[in-house]
Amino acid sequence: MRAWLCLAALVSAAPAAWAQPDASTPAAAATPAPAAPDSEVAGVAVHRVKRGDTLELLAAEYYGDRRHKIYIMIENRLDHARDLKPGERLRIPVSNEVTVAVGDTLKSLAAQYLGDERRAKYLAEFNGIEPGGSVAAGMSITVPLRVSFRAARREPLSGIAAGLFADASKAQLLKEYNFLRRDALGKGEAIVVPIYLRVHPSKRRPPDAASISLLARRTRALETARHALPEARKAWDKGDYGAVRSMLAALVSSFPYLDTELVFEVGVLLGGAYVAFDDPDTARTHFQQVLEREPGRALRAFDYSPKVCDVWRKAGGKVDESPPP
């Protein structure tokens, strides 16, 4: 009991970080979470203690704030601060910088790095992505650091949340994140607690060759699209659909690297140009490519011809028939 109270006091002195519901499997409700492997996917760096290292200095080194030592303590199951011994190894929770590859989605990334695709909404929120949004190849996504908390005795989630975040109401987040069915942990049971912190830039692993290549391709695709679109819009307004087609056709292969809004604009203009040339099959193909990235996107009937809207519907899209504001 004394150890928990000591730990809670230390945590309450730290700045409150926002915990999210994070779980490995539905079985987490009854099974203690296994120790994460020392890997980038697990979000743990192994630090060999040097002479002069302290928990406070390591927290400042990795997180920019000495008060965040509590996360190192929890990960290493230290119930009180102590001197560190040169040569000993500490597990340091770290955030991960991940470069999105072709075919990645928020769900697949959440499954890979957070253990369950249902955590995609938290990954999106941490990175400022709209709910239901998508990612593009070459984007950099940050996976928040996580710590494992193991109960030394029966602990209500409200007490754990109050100790970790100075906010008992975050118990519901801990419950949802770990897919728990109860409002308390039994002795020895563990949960994963996501912390919305990024490690100091000096502690981030540099991108590998594959990530650099993805980023370079995305940069080129964005530059090409942003250069071509203004001219394509002008050609569209003039009714020069042949020019629209010639300006934008080469961008189709770059769709995986473009932001969703760019994919929408390029795909709709290009598909509309094919409609104008009485080629609805090719138009539908391009519309379907847009809808793969944003399935719920609606086309405004006011902005496009009935023929374009009809092909859009056949591609599986919705059409907004409401009058313009």
- Return the CATH class of domain 209-320: mainly alpha
* pLDDT for position 195: 85
- Give the chain's residues under pLDDT 70: 1-42
Please tell me the distance from the alpha carbon of residue 307 to that of residue 280, in angstroms, as a whole number.
Answer: 9
Q: Report whether 144 contacts 126 (CB < 8 A).
A: yes
**Chain length of the chain:** 325
Amino acid 10: pLDDT: 42
Q: pLDDT for 29-69, tens place per residue?
A: 333 333 333 333 458 899 999 999 999 999 999 999 998 99
Cβ contacts of 320 within 8 Å, gap of 6 or more: 298, 299, 300, 301
Q: Amino acid identity, residue 305? A: S
pLDDT of residue 40: 38
Distance CA 122, CA 114 (A): 10
Domain extent listing, the chain: 2-95+144-203, 209-320
Burial 155-168 (b: 16+ CB within 10 A, else e): bebbbbbbbbbeee
Q: Which residue has the tokens 């754990």?
A: 160
Residue 157: predicted pLDDT: 95
Question: Is the torsion defined by CA of 71, 74, 77, 78 positive or negative?
Answer: positive
Q: How far is CA 137 from the centre of its chain?
A: 13
pLDDT at 166: 79
Query: Residues 238-260: pLDDT tens digits?
Result: 999 999 999 999 999 999 999 99
Q: pLDDT value at position 135?
A: 96
CB 161 within 8 A of CB 205: no
User: Residue 150: enclosing H or E segment and its boundaries?
Assistant: strand 145-150
Give the C-alpha separation, 110 to 232, whole Å: 37
Name the DSSP class of 320.
E
pLDDT at 35: 36
The β-bridge relationship of strands 140-143 and 184-185 is unpaired
What pLDDT does 131 receive?
Answer: 79
Exposed e or buried b for every residue in 21-49, given b needs 16+ CB within 10 A? bbbbeeebbeebbeebeeeeebbbbebeb
At what angle are helices 2-13 and 157-165 packed, to 10 degrees? 40
Q: What is the pLDDT of residue 104?
A: 96
Q: Are 133 and 109 in contact (CB under 8 A)?
A: no
**Where are the strands (E) in the chain, listed by range?**
44-48, 89-93, 96-99, 140-143, 145-150, 155-156, 184-185, 190-195, 298-300, 318-320
119 contacts 47 by C-beta, under 8 angstroms: no
CB 200 within 8 A of CB 45: no
